[in-house]
């Protein structure tokens, strides 16, 4: 018989980390914050964002990310039914009370984790994808390395803290930036209340920003004894996307408020612009011993960058180009660099490349040029 099938799962985010941590991660609670541009990854504000700390159930963001990858690749479907084993049944803390042998859809298991912080649902995914939680954790750490999460180590798939696991606000921002790219996850991450088993199990999201914050995309809130309350929050308005990470609050309401305030700061204080192409580049670069005297140049990329509102007129640039280049010149060949600065801070840098090819002058090429000029004359 199912345990507590009519119980209400109220998510208080009391997901307990173990007492072990790597030697350089202090036992003292540390406040850690960061605000990034969700499109570019540009850091707009930070405080202790590279300090390794306990992150509680924010650990589950990596579990969700891997599940999302498997869904995106077709290896899992939201409608697939997975079977809970004994390990899921024996999980404690935040759970959706899965019975051994109980079948539940991938979609409902995701609800359990994203909305309800369910530890037992994490175990079901870990065993389905990797065969065991131990092997799944290896996959989690591999993905962390691929995402550039250099100060992160996972030891379980649910964030209950068994072993020496830790992360940073910056690393969690990298993971959150990737998570919000999965459109099918947004309805889960922005749901405040839902249910499983035809209403027998109720889910309530600790991240109250999902109820009324304009443009909210998710992502997740959590708790650990070592770090206190934590939140990863993302929102989009127009083309602007911001992600705030707060770790180390004593009170849940304070954590949510700080996450909201950082998002507010993003939308009220920053704008996204695309640097202009300097007129100097239109003059091109002299070519020595080529079939043309000039090769036209352009920036290789001109991606968007985020700056304080009203400062676009203060952007300056520095172009590095040779006096001339030797032929032959290949199209898209790097011939220099351009850096953009705002108040002496470099905000963007890219290569300058040739817009066209220029062949080396040979006797045959010279003869052709002479013939063409004679004919046109």
Q: Which fold has domain 279-376?
A: Peptidoglycan synthesis regulatory factor (PBP3), Domain 2 (2.60.410)
- pLDDT, one tens digit per residue, over 218-262 is 999 988 777 789 999 999 999 899 999 999 899 999 999 999 999
pLDDT at 138: 97
Q: Which fold has domain 8-269?
A: Beta-lactamase (3.40.710)
- pLDDT, one tens digit per residue, over 124-154 is 999 999 999 999 999 999 999 999 999 999 9
- pLDDT, one tens digit per residue, over 332-356 is 999 999 999 999 888 889 999 999 9
- pLDDT, one tens digit per residue, over 58-78 is 999 999 999 999 999 999 999
pLDDT at 191: 95
Helix (H) or strand (E) holding 44: strand 43-47
Lowest mean pLDDT among 47-56, 77-86, 229-238, 363-372: 363-372
Q: How many CB atoms lie within 10 A of CB 266?
A: 23
Contact 226, 57 (CB under 8 A): no
Residue spans in the chain of domains classed CATH 3.40.710.10: 8-269
User: If you average pLDDT over every residue of the chain, what do you get?
Assistant: 87
In the chain, what is the greatest distance between 2 CA atoms, to the nearest angstrom? Answer: 98
Global confidence as pTM: 0.80
Residue spans in the chain of domains classed CATH 2.60.410.10: 279-376
Contact 265, 257 (CB under 8 A): no
pLDDT at 22: 37
- pLDDT, one tens digit per residue, over 104-115 is 999 999 999 999
Which pLDDT band, with edges at 50, 70 and 90, does 364 fall under? low
Distance of alpha carbon 52 from alpha carbon 313, whole angstroms: 38
């Amino acid at each position: 018989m199912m345990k507590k099938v009519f119980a209400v799962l109220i998510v208080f985010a009391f997901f307990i980390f173990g007492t072990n941590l790597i030697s350089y991660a202090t036992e003292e609670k540390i406040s850690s914050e960061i605000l990034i541009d969700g499109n570019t990854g540009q850091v707009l504000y930070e405080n202790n964002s590279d300090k390794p700390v306990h992150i509680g159930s924010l650990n589950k963001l990596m579990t969700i990310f891997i599940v999302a990858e498997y869904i995106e690749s077709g290896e899992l479907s939201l409608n697939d039914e997975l079977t809970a084993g004994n390990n899921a049944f024996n999980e404690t803390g935040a759970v959706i009370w899965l019975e051994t042998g109980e079948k539940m859809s991938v979609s409902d298991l995701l609800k359990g984790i994203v909305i309800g912080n369910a530890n037992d649902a994490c175990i079901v995914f870990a065993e389905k994808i990797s065969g065991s939680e131990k092997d799944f954790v290896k996959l989690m750490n591999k993905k962390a390395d691929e995402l550039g999460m250099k100060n992160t180590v996972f030891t379980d798939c649910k964030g209950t803290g068994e072993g020496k696991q830790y992360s940073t606000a910056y690393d969690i921002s990298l993971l959150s930036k990737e998570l919000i790219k999965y459109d099918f996850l947004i309805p889960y991450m922005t749901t405040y209340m839902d249910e499983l088993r035809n209403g027998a199990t109720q889910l309530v999201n600790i991240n109250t920003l999902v109820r009324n914050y304009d443009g909210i995309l998710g992502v997740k809130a959590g708790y650990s004894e070592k770090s206190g309350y934590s939140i990863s929050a993302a929102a989009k308005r127009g083309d602007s996307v911001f992600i705030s990470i707060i770790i180390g609050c004593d009170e849940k309401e304070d954590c949510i408020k700080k996450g909201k305030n950082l998002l507010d700061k993003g939308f009220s204080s920053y704008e996204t612009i695309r640097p202009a192409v300097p007129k100097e580049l239109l003059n091109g670069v002299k070519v020595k011993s080529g079939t043309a005297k000039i090769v036209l140049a352009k920036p290789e990329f001109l991606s968007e960058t985020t700056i304080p509102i009203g400062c676009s007129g203060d952007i300056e640039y520095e172009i590095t180009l040779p006096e001339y280049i030797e032929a032959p010149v290949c199209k898209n060949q790097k011939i220099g660099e351009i850096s953009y600065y705002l108040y002496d801070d470099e905000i963007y840098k890219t290569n300058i490349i040739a817009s066209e090819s220029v062949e080396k002058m040979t006797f045959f090429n010279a003869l052709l040029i002479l013939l063409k000029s004679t004919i046109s004359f």
